[in-house]
Amino acid sequence: MTLSDDSLRAAWPQPGELPDNLFHFDITAQDPKTHARCGVFHTAHGDVPTPIFMPVGTKATVKGLMPSQVADLGAKIILNNTYHLAMRPGADLVAEMGGVHKFMRWNGPILTDSGGFQVFSHNEFMKLTNEGVSFRAIEYDGARIRWTPEDNMAIAEKLGSDICMQLDQCPGYPATKAYVARAVELSSMWGERCWNAHTRPDQALFGIVQGGMHMDLRLRSLAHLEECGDFPGYGIGGYSVGEDHETMYETLEPLVAEHMPKNKPRYLMGVGNPTTLVRAVASGVDMFDCVLPTRTARMGTAFSSEGRLNLKNARFKHDQRVLDEHCDCPACAGGFTRAYIHHLVRQGEMLGGILLSQHNIRYLLALMERVRAAIAQGRYEQFYRDWMDSPAANDF
């Protein structure tokens, strides 16, 4: 059975049934010497403290982990991927199952991206027009699919996440300024259409600021979004797409610190190594997501106060220490040694990836807890300096 769109809308909470402060962003602390701030973003499935890292559950699962385990690691919000869920099992099926929260048994807030990054990575199998994007689902059945901004919003509403993102075009790096300008034009046009098409009252729609490494294009993108709708938050897209970190910060830092609205959460999309998080928070970024902690975990890599560790290396074969003596994740608190995890990784045992995934996620979530505490105490500048002077900053 597939529910009709009218039946789906009838099941949505009505505005009068929702809290008055839904999707309001309360700033609770501001560091006096940087642009770092603490806040709380209110959603239908709970409050999200910021700055925050969002573990990625691409296909409605954080790979290898039970939802309860992800919650126990300290996750306050997770991310699902719209493209992959639209392909399999399909948005209609997720809606029939009661929405993505019930489908995956996660009771906290969920953010769904637009799927645009995945669509535009199809390159020669993708075609752009003002109306939308056509592509072939090459990693599935090869079917030809067309998405308009309106189609994308319908999928997001069926999935039922707390936060969804507008459909946008994410240009890679390097790219000509003309190409990036066209991406800004399309993203701006589509952002306005997404705003007009989105109707679900218990779901926040964030706009996405594009513009590559060009500040004038970034400001053009932001200005159009502010003109076309009262978005409750903003994604910052088009970074970490091939450029080095210093190139990224040339425009990211002034964009966030000087130009983006101060009363809305700012979400730097697809960035997840610890040092980048620490530095971006100093610029005023509030939210992050990335597959890095779990993807690199499955390849045998761990974050640590010593810097990034490659557990495949022979130097860990006799190492009786845990991954990080300061970490309280199940791997470290459970006493699993580097030697044992080295063995698991070298032998391709799934437990190795599970333990490392738990460790890496907890490492970033614990880092955000320390970040929030430092901001609340007015000492984030010193926290940032101490981090950059520590071995932990060697995480690239």
> In angstroms, rounded to a whole number, what is the distance separating the alpha carbons of residues 86 and 133?
15
pLDDT at 1: 47
Q: What angle do CA 209, 215, 221 make, to 5 degrees?
A: 30
Asked if residue 135 lies in contact with residue 142, where contact means CB atoms within 8 angstroms, the answer is no
The active-site residue, picked from 31, 113, 202, 286, is 113
Torsion of CA 124, 130, 131, 135, to 10 degrees: 10
pLDDT at 388: 98
The active-site residue, picked from 31, 202, 286, 289, is 289
> Binding site for substrate, residues?
113-117, 168, 210, 238
- Residue ranges of the domains in the chain? 23-290, 299-391
Mean pLDDT of the chain: 96
Instruction: Give the gyration radius of the chain's Cα atoms.
Output: 21
Per CATH, which fold does 23-290 belong to? TIM Barrel (3.20.20)
Rounded to the nearest 5 percent, the helix, strand and coil shares of the chain are: 45, 15, 40
Ranges of residues in the chain with a pLDDT under 70 are 1-3
Residue 139 CB contacts under 8 Å (≥ 6 apart), including other chains: none
> Binding site for Zn(2+), residues?
327, 329, 332, 359
Report the candidate in 216, 277, 276 with the shortest Cα–Cα distance to residue 243.
Answer: 276
- From the number of C-beta atoms within 10 Å of its C-beta (0-12, 13-18, 19+), residue 133 rates as buried
Report phi then psi at 287, rounded to 5: -135, 145
Query: Is 113 noted as a catalytic residue in this protein?
Result: yes
Q: What angle do CA 211, 213, 218 make, to 5 degrees?
A: 35
Query: What tokens appear for 56 in the block?
Result: 């990625």
The reply to whether the predicted model has a pTM over 0.95 is yes
Residue 161 CB neighbour total at 10 angstroms: 29
Query: Is 92 noted as a catalytic residue in this protein?
Result: no
> Binding site, residues?
113-117, 168, 210, 238, 327, 329, 332, 359
> In angstroms, rounded to a whole number, what is the distance separating the alpha carbons of residues 94 and 20?
28
Q: Which residue matches tokens 């507008």?
A: 166
Q: Which residue matches tokens 């610190």?
A: 257
